[in-house]
């Protein structure tokens, strides 16, 4: 039985949750511990936490955040951002993470994937991929939270990271991320025949129907990662959202101009909806 996973993605800058569009224009939304606990109690299957500036500044700053979150949350937690060495992985796992996501370091040294798999096991090593379509119609990979482009073709990179033993691929469509325009059909069509390992899609999810169609049309997808749709569904909850003392953000949050692009959902209602439509999920 192919049970599909629903994954909350939480991007962190400093001590705050941030959210952008196309991985840009980051705005502070609130406290990652409060959002994480909300998603856990509502029934999320996994949580993916990304330090969105770690690689740019050559640091990993999530140890304290992981320790606090993992004390009260008992679903798998994946951590990404600034992981450059086996020592970094060891420290992240020791802090409470179950898996690590690697992007920049893998691009700069692909053999690091194989080294990490040998040391910690393939199920621990997730390869994060940020992809954007070029003018020639092909997709190429980016890193540093979409800030740095490469000349590496997405198809060749997916094949390579699988051959090097990675246990999972977490793919973000930069074009769709944060926009609420739905998943990237073209991107998924291009890669569906080459995926051989667990695969998570992220970018553009806007409704229960959108998730249902995604999972029905692309059975190779093991997990759906959601960010904006979950965060914006909880902005009205003053126990977790942060309207106060955030310069430039209060009016943005109160106007909720992006909310119209996203259906307000709860995780348990989403799971019941998927189950009713013959998608296997954990209730």
- Is 271 within 8 Å of 43 (Cβ atoms)? yes
| Whole-number Å distance between alpha carbons of 8 and 50 | 11
- Is 200 within 8 Å of 225 (Cβ atoms)? yes
Q: Is 130 labeled as catalytic in the residue annotation?
A: yes
Q: Is 149 labeled as catalytic in the residue annotation?
A: no
Q: Given 42, 45, 88, 130, which residue is catalytic?
A: 130
Q: E-assigned strands of 56-196?
A: 77-80, 99-102, 125-133, 139-143, 148-153, 168-173
| Whole-number Å distance between alpha carbons of 255 and 90 | 43
Count of residues making up the chain: 283
Q: What are the residues facing 172 on neighbouring strands?
A: 130, 202
Q: E-assigned strands of the chain?
A: 5-13, 16-21, 24-30, 46-51, 77-80, 99-102, 125-133, 139-143, 148-153, 168-173, 199-202, 223-226
CA distance readout (Å), 279 to 4, 201, 210, 211, 241 = 7, 16, 13, 10, 31
Q: Could you tell me whether strands 139-143 and 125-133 are parallel, antiparallel, or unpaired per DSSP bridges?
A: antiparallel
- Is 70 within 8 Å of 31 (Cβ atoms)? no
| Whole-number Å distance between alpha carbons of 181 and 219 | 21
Q: Given 11, 42, 51, 222, which residue is catalytic?
A: 11
Q: What is the DSSP letter of 260?
A: G
Catalytic residues: 11, 130
């Amino acid at each position: 039985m192919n049970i599909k996973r629903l994954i909350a993605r939480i991007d962190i800058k400093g001590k705050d949750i941030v959210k952008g569009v196309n991985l840009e224009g980051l705005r502070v939304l609130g406290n990652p511990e409060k959002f994480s606990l909300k998603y856990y109690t509502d029934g999320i299957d996994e949580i993916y936490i990304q330090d969105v500036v770690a690689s740019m500044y050559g640091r990993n700053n999530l140890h304290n955040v992981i320790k606090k979150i993992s004390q009260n949350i008992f679903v798998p937690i994946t951590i990404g951002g600034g992981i450059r060495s086996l020592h970094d992985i060891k420290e992240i796992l020791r802090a409470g993470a179950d898996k690590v996501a690697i992007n920049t370091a893998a691009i700069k040294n692909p053999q690091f994937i194989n080294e990490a798999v040998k040391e910690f096991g393939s199920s621990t090593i997730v390869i994060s991929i940020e992809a954007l379509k070029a003018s020639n119609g092909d997709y190429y990979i980016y890193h540093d939270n979409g800030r740095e482009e490469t000349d590496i073709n997405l198809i060749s990179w997916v094949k390579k990271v699988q051959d090097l033993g990675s246990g999972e691929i977490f793919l973000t469509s930069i074009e769709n991320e944060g926009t609420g325009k739905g998943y990237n059909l073209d991107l998924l069509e291009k890669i569906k025949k080459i995926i051989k390992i667990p695969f998570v899609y992220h970018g553009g999810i806007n409704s229960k129907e959108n998730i249902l169609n995604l999972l029905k049309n692309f059975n190779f997808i093991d997990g759906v990662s959601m960010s904006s749709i979950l965060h914006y569904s909880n902005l009205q909850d003053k126990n977790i959202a942060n309207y106060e003392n955030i310069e430039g953000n209060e009016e943005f949050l109160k106007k909720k101009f992006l909310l119209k692009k996203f259906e307000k959902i709860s995780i348990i209602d989403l799971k019941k909806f998927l189950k009713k439509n013959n998608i296997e999920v954990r209730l």
